[in-house]
Amino acid sequence: MPAPPSAPRDNVSGRPQGRPALQSGCARPMRPPFSLRGYPMFNKLSGALWRALSAASVAAGLMVTPQIASAGDNVFARTLPWVITRDGPGMCHADLIDVTKPDRGGRMLRFQVINGSLSIVTDGLMDATTIPAQIDDRTYDLFFQRSPQGIAAHVGMDVEEAIRNGFSLDLRFAEDMLPYTLGGSASMLDLLWQCAWGQPARTDDLPQDWWDWVTLSNGSIDPRSPRAGFDLNVGFLHVCTVDHNGGSHPGKVSWDLKACFFGYGGQEWKNPTYRMIIGKQRWLPALFNSIPDTAMAIGNEADGTPLYACRTEYNGDWQLGKTRPGFNGCNFGYGGQELTGSPFQVLIY
């Protein structure tokens, strides 16, 4: 694997010192609507068969975004992991389905525009209430009311700007619930407003996400690294990589762990010095254990074979690990062993 991009020159602090410039090769063009290029093994499938497989995947809880059933669904555009749909004149919405959350407990996250007003909607089942929503290190009080989809709250310009530029959104439904990752949120909002204004989808000049690397040790966490997993014993987990036996292996780190833990050779290993990936993150399911071609190779075996960051549910937690073709799952370190979990999600560009 090529060496990771150089780390930001500013010292790690409790608050980012501004948005780093986009690194060359750190973003890829948005995938056009209806594209199947994310899954090369399905490129030759007919549309009807693909829709059948997608429906089965949704039922199994594998999909991140609702799949497009037909052109009649009024899908306006897609910017992974978001799907933007036109509901009528001046009315559009963007959906994300997050399988790390329970059904009717925040699994669906929606931003919708109706007559020029932006709202956030989730499928949470609760009464009208004010929720201290946290976007990165800032808190915004959002007043949610009951809606046909669950609960909804108006989004002001300050919150919209924070969502556009933020890494994660935590609606605090539960202490152990992962926040929503805001990968693709800037592109999603641009497309959502284009849809609401009756404009054609313009995908050639959409804002791109950025990512970079920092080297840390002893459990230090860069605030620009979104929480990607959760372990009841040690709290929220972040993606890390370490050098080991001639390779570079993705794993998990938290403040309580004090090191990057990873699986190798059937055992769990740790290293107190590690690299963390920072910036916006997007996760996509590995359908039938097929790694999307947009997967981000952040490590490698000693022979150069790329390794990808993954996460999988295990004992009610979301563990972080590594995957590649041939693993047939997400390999992660746990309890001194290297375990394999499936289904799983993969970190993508």
Looking at the 3D structure of the chain, how many domains does it have? 2
Quick check: is 2 in a domain? no
DSSP 55: H
Q: pLDDT tens digit string along 55-75? A: 333 333 333 332 332 344 689
Task: Say yes or no: 184 and 217 in one domain.
Answer: no
- Range scoring the smallest mean pLDDT among 31-45, 147-161, 173-187, 301-315: 31-45
Quick check: is 35 in a domain? no
Quick check: is 33 in a domain? no
Task: Say yes or no: 192 and 66 in one domain.
Answer: yes
Is the CB of residue 45 less than 8 Å from the CB of residue 288? no
Element (H, E) at 212: strand 211-217
Q: Which two tokens stand for residue 297?
A: 């190779």
- Looking at residue 32, its pLDDT comes to 30
- Looking at residue 25, its pLDDT comes to 32
Domain assignment of residue 65, given as a range:
40-196
Of 196, 230, 265, at which residue does a domain stop?
196
Task: Say yes or no: 170 and 249 in one domain.
Answer: no
Is the CB of residue 264 less than 8 Å from the CB of residue 339? no
Task: Say yes or no: 173 and 289 in one domain.
Answer: no
Of 143, 167, 196, at which residue does a domain stop?
196
Quick check: is 34 in a domain? no
Task: Say yes or no: 243 and 343 in one domain.
Answer: yes
Residue 112, domain CATH: 2.60.40
Task: Say yes or no: 330 and 263 in one domain.
Answer: yes
The model carries a pTM of 0.71
Q: pLDDT tens digit string along 199-237? A: 998 877 788 888 899 999 999 999 889 999 999 999 999
| Rounded mean pLDDT, 165-179 | 86
Q: pLDDT tens digit string along 247-268? A: 999 999 999 999 999 999 999 9
Task: Say yes or no: 68 and 143 in one domain.
Answer: yes
- Looking at residue 127, its pLDDT comes to 81
Would residue 84 be called left, alpha or beta, if left means φ above 0 and alpha means ψ between -120 and 50 degrees?
A: beta
- Looking at residue 299, its pLDDT comes to 96
% of residues, the chain, pLDDT over 90: 60
| Rounded mean pLDDT, 163-177 | 87
Helix (H, G, I), strand (E, B) or coil at 246: coil
- Looking at residue 206, its pLDDT comes to 82
Q: Which two tokens stand for residue 77?
A: 């555009």
